[in-house]
Amino acid sequence: MASGLIPALRHLWPNATIAWLAEDAMADTLAQNPKLDRVHRIPRAAWRKMRKENDYLGLIKSLLAMKRQLTNERYDLVLDLQGLLKSGIWAWASGAPYRIGLGSREGSQFLMTRVIPREMNDPRIGKEYRDLAIQLGAKEETFELDIPFSEHTADASKALLEKHGISPPYGLIAPFTTRPQKHWFDERWVSLAQSLGHQQPLIMLGGPSDREQAAKIADQAGGQILSLVGETSLEQCAAIIKGAAFLIGVDTGLTHLGIAQKTPTLALFGSTLPYAETTRANSRVLYEPLPCSPCHRHPTCGGRFDCMRHLDESMVLHALKDLLKDQKDARHEGSPRGL
């Protein structure tokens, strides 16, 4: 969601050097964005290994090398988008004279020269990052989620699909996320797949840690889902999502990536509501609020997850049908006469 800052900042300061500091897991994805001049990689896994092996000398040397890499660039401004101590320390270590933190806490606020509140009454996706861009002087219309991928990534993703006998049109589901109260239910994914899978190929995406659960869903769906869970990089996911006819997902990065790629996307929200408006005509949030929702990390339903249970298969299918019909109608309205 923060990726919208990249085009906003580039439009605001076209000649600036713009870099992103990220952990290895996200660095490859960011490195494919031509609007960024460079990506600084935090080797957190390597640091964790050094600590585990008591290689404190190696750890200190690596930390100092990271600091030198940042200070040598002589940045004028650092934006701390996480607002945590672990990110605030690097903002401070960069040596930049101006350091703006977004909702800084855990003590990181004392390392900033300015703190901008994170909470705001804006229903749109990326609201806090959008507000930061505007406060920096960017035009609001220049904030747009921006996660491109290279031609090489596109070719690799196409080859992966061809290996499994898949070609467009195909649909996508993204069932997996970090907390159980954000999940939909396996049996409903199975039922949904059985309704959709006979119409066109249906692909399931997710990370390596989701493989076991994905295998169960695919098995119960009786061959109606192709699971690519754990088989793709995030960049390849972006390319696969870009070519999809639709994506249905919960509150997870892949669902937000669908909106970024302008793919027709249906987001199933319940215990969380990161945004109510996607800002895309072809993407919608399906959310039925209960008195207790959104509860975020503190569910009170005893593990029933009533807000997600309220979203049944027929509701999702109906919403998807409306979404795709509206998109088809919009394409026809925009076509020249006679076509």
Helix (H/G/I), strand (E/B), else coil: 111: helix
33 domain-assigned? yes
Cα 310 → chain centroid: 25
Per the CB < 8 A criterion, the answer to whether 161 and 240 are in contact is yes
State the pLDDT confidence band at 332, using cuts at 50, 70 and 90.
low
Same domain, 209 and 314: yes
The answer to which of 85-94, 137-146, 323-332 has the lowest mean pLDDT is 323-332
Q: Which of 91, 109, 142 is the last residue of a domain?
A: 142
Indicate whether 234 and 128 sit together in one domain: no
Distance CA 300, CA 243 (A): 39
Answer yes or no: is 338 within a domain: no
Q: Check pLDDT > 90 for residue 47.
A: yes
Number of domains the chain is built from: 2
Q: Which band of pLDDT confidence, cut at 50, 70 and 90, is reported for residue 271?
A: very high
* 52 Cβ contact list (under 8 Å, min separation 6): none
Please state, in angstroms and rounded to a whole number, the distance separating the CA atoms of residues 35 and 9. Answer: 9
Q: Domain limits at 233?
A: 151-333
Classify residue 25: in a domain, yes or no. Answer: yes
Count of alpha carbons within 13 angstroms of residue 22, beta-carbon side? 15
Q: Are residues 115 and 173 in the same domain?
A: no
Residue 330 pLDDT level (bands cut at 50, 70, 90): low
Residue 34 confidence (pLDDT): 95
Burial of 178 by CB count in 10 Å (0-12 exposed, 13-18 middle, 19+ buried)? Answer: exposed
Q: What is the mean pLDDT of residues 288-301?
A: 88
Who has greater pLDDT, 236 or 290?
A: 236
110, 164: one domain: no
Q: 3-state DSSP call for residue 265?
A: strand
**Can you say whether residue 268 is alpha, beta or left, with left for phi > 0 and alpha for psi between -120 and 50 degrees?**
beta
Point out the domain boundary residue: 83, 118, 142.
142
Instruction: Give the CATH number for residue 121.
Output: 3.40.50.2000
Percentage of residues in the chain with pLDDT exceeding 90? 82
> Looking at the domain assignment, is residue 192 inside a domain?
yes
| pTM for the whole structure | 0.90
The per-residue pLDDT of the chain, averaged, comes to 93
Question: 42 pLDDT band (50/70/90 cuts)?
Answer: very high
Q: Maximum distance among all alpha carbons in the chain?
A: 73
User: What's residue 250's pLDDT?
Assistant: 97
Tens-place pLDDT, residues 26-39: 899 999 999 999 99
Q: Residues 29, 172: one domain?
A: no
CA–CA dist 105, 116 (Å, integer):
11
pLDDT in tens, 48-88: 999 999 999 999 999 999 999 999 999 999 999 999 999 99
Q: What is the mean pLDDT of residues 4-11?
A: 97
What pLDDT, on the 0 to 100 scale, is given for residue 333?
Answer: 61
- Do 133 and 160 share a structural domain? no
**End-to-end Cα, the chain, rounded Å:** 37
Strand partners, 268: 286
Lowest mean pLDDT among 64-68, 88-92, 254-258, 304-308: 304-308
Give a yes or no: residue 28 inside a domain.
yes
Q: Answer whether residue 243 shows pLDDT above 90.
A: yes
Q: Which of 124, 142, 160 is the last residue of a domain?
A: 142
User: Looking at the structure, do residues 51 and 185 belong to the same domain, yes or no?
Assistant: no
Question: In the structure, what pLDDT confidence band is assigned to residue 289 with cuts at 50, 70 and 90?
Answer: confident
Is 80 exceeded by the pLDDT of residue 329? no
Per-residue pLDDT tens digits for 152-185: 999 999 999 999 999 999 999 999 998 889 999 9
pLDDT reported for residue 326: 76
For residue 339, tell me if it sits in a domain. Answer: no
**How do residues 104-130 score in pLDDT, each as one tens digit?**
999 999 999 999 999 888 999 999 999
240 and 326 fall within a common domain: yes
Q: Are residues 116 and 223 in the same domain?
A: no
The mean per-residue pLDDT over the stretch 221-237 comes to: 93
Distance CA 20, CA 31 (A): 9
Q: Are residues 53 and 183 in the same domain?
A: no
| pLDDT number for residue 334 | 58
> Do 202 and 234 share a domain, yes or no?
yes
328 has a pLDDT exceeding 80: no
| Contact indicator for 171, 203 with CB cutoff of 8 Å | yes
82 within domain boundaries: yes
Specify whether 133 is located in the same domain as 156.
no
Is residue 292 situated within a structural domain?
Answer: yes
pLDDT tier for residue 331 given thresholds of 50, 70 and 90 = low
Q: Which helix (H) or strand (E) holds 268?
A: strand 265-268
